[in-house]
Structure 1
């Protein structure tokens, strides 16, 4: 059977696998063994499923595909951040980042190959969108980053952020299904409260998350708190303005009570004045948000923006603090290997 016609075995849930094994005259418990290899033990090939007989492994190989994601290159930053370039079965690449701190091991994962939103400050946006990732490919990224965390620190992942390449809400079903597998007892058994999905802001899909009663956290990439400026740097805002996003976030919170945060990158002389801080406070007060992450800008090749001076950043933070905005300054990690916010573009040094 040609690989094009073979069905990806990870598209089968346990009952379907059990049915398949029954049909070929195998014991039903074999299905459970295979399922464990796929999700719990994260076997990259059928050959690796060592408690199955050789003929059975061969039979699976002949009838199914197992398009596992592999690490193509791994770069390590001076600050301990690790960036993986993952190779997909069709030769595409995406990037994922492991960010270790004293108390956390955070995986930043991609949901699309490239991105169609063309935000003016993001390297991924210059690539265009090649395709969506399947749920099992996203799961692979997380499982591989978890292995790296265990190997480098002896600790497993504590947090996952969907903040890598792509707009997660434009790959809605696969993102939700990947989180379902990551949080499942027979998956990585991670709490949804430790997972954050970041969106550039698609109001309709934020409402859909509310309707689906999701239990993970949501982060809105705001980056400008008035429509004129936001339209200029994030074309998506022209069809999803701030009012529609504020309404959608309130709806999302009413349905789920899940945590909401804002991401706000500071750009020199663009969105770093006290007037900009005022606009940000206005938006913050209209949404039950827990936190505003102020992020320092990381330059990208050919980008038009620069980082504000340190005193400007401090003045902005002080102003937010004076107005009782729960904010924190996020110093970017992994800049020396292009692993920081907005720098992921499959570029190999």
Structure 2
């Protein structure tokens, strides 16, 4: 069968795979064995499925395909962060990052090729959105980044953040299926509480997360608790005002009882004054939450600049004085454009590492 007509085997549920095998005259129970190879052992080569007969492996190759991600290149930052570009089966390229820290190893994964939201401070926002990633493409990023953690730092992956390229909630089904495969006992069996999905703020889909009673963590890229300012840097706010987001977050919290994290970049001379902090405190009163103040990573396409360290500390201290749990996050991987807001595909010479 020509390649374009082969079935993407990882797009099938266990029951659907069982049905396909039965229709081919194979024994249905083999589906569970194949599923284990695909999702527990992360196997991307039918020939390596050693407990299947050679004839069954040939049948699989004749009817199915595994669209495995390929590591295109990787760069190591001075702080040991590793950024990788991955080639997809259709030739598109995405990026993912391994962020090592003393207590954790975090994979930052992409959910789309490019992004459609055009946030003014984010490099990915200046790319076109070409398509959503399939669940297996998100899963593969986790597997490959976990392998890097083991090989380079002899540590297992502990956390996953959907904070790479794209808006995860605009790839709702792909994101949710990937989380299911990552957390399922017949998948990677990772705890949902170790996964954080970050959104620029789409009210109706935040409510849908509530309806689906998700167990992973939700982070909202806020960056201003004032509609005029947020509209300026995040056009998505024009259709998803702070009031609409607050209502959606209250609904989400009522359904899940999960506190939310607000991500806030303190931009110089934009959202760094005491009044901005007061507005943020007021927004924080809607539901239990914490604030992560994120260091800004300048990009060539935008003129935003990080506030001075003293200004950031004053901002954070005010939030803390008002009872808001606040963390100041220092950026990782800036020297290789791997830090928050810097992911964008560009050709350049780089320091490569063996994968």
**CA shift digits 1:224-277 (9 cap, x unpaired):** 110000000000000100000011001000001123110001111101111111
Give the Cα–Cα distance (whole angstroms) in 2 for the partners of residues 239 and 20 of structure 1. Answer: 43
Q: What residue number does 2:11 align with?
A: 11
Give the Cα–Cα distance (whole angstroms) in 1 for the partners of residues 57 and 83 of structure 2. Answer: 33
Structural mapping, 1:88-167, within 5 Å:
88-167=88-167
- What SS is found at the alignment partner of 2:243? helix
Give, in angstroms, the shift of residue 348 of structure 1.
4.1
In the alignment, is residue 243 of structure 1 matched against residue 217 of structure 2? Answer: no
Q: What residue number does 1:33 align with?
A: 33
Contact 2:293 2:329 in 1 (8 A): yes
Contact 1:250 1:288 in 2 (8 A): no
Give the Cα–Cα distance (whole angstroms) in 2 for the partners of residues 228 and 287 of structure 1. Answer: 22
- What SS is found at the alignment partner of 2:142? helix
Contact 2:74 2:84 in 1 (8 A): yes
RMSD of Structure 2 on Structure 1 (CA): 1.3
Q: What residue number does 1:305 align with?
A: 304
Q: What residue number does 1:295 align with?
A: 294
Structural mapping, 1:216-295, within 5 Å:
216-289=216-289, 291-295=290-294
Give the Cα–Cα distance (whole angstroms) in 2 for the partners of residues 254 and 4 of structure 1. Answer: 46
- What SS is found at the alignment partner of 1:10? helix
- What SS is found at the alignment partner of 2:3? coil
- What SS is found at the alignment partner of 2:5? coil
Which has the larger displacement, 307-316 or 83-92? 307-316
**CA shift digits 1:65-87 (9 cap, x unpaired):** 11111111111111111111011
Contact 2:259 2:287 in 1 (8 A): no
Query: Which runs of 5 or more structure 1 residues have no equivalent in the other structure?
Result: none
Q: What residue number does 1:317 align with?
A: 316
Q: What residue number does 2:332 align with?
A: 333
Q: TM-score, normalised by structure 2?
A: 0.95
**CA shift digits 1:181-240 (9 cap, x unpaired):** 111001110111111110000001001111111111110000111000000000000010
Higher relative contact order by CA 8 Å / sep ≥ 6: 1 or 2? 2
Q: Which runs of 4+ in 1 moved over 4 A?
A: none
Contact 2:123 2:301 in 1 (8 A): no
Contact 1:264 1:295 in 2 (8 A): yes
Structural mapping, 1:63-74, within 5 Å:
63-74=63-74
Instruction: Give aligned pairs, total.
Output: 348
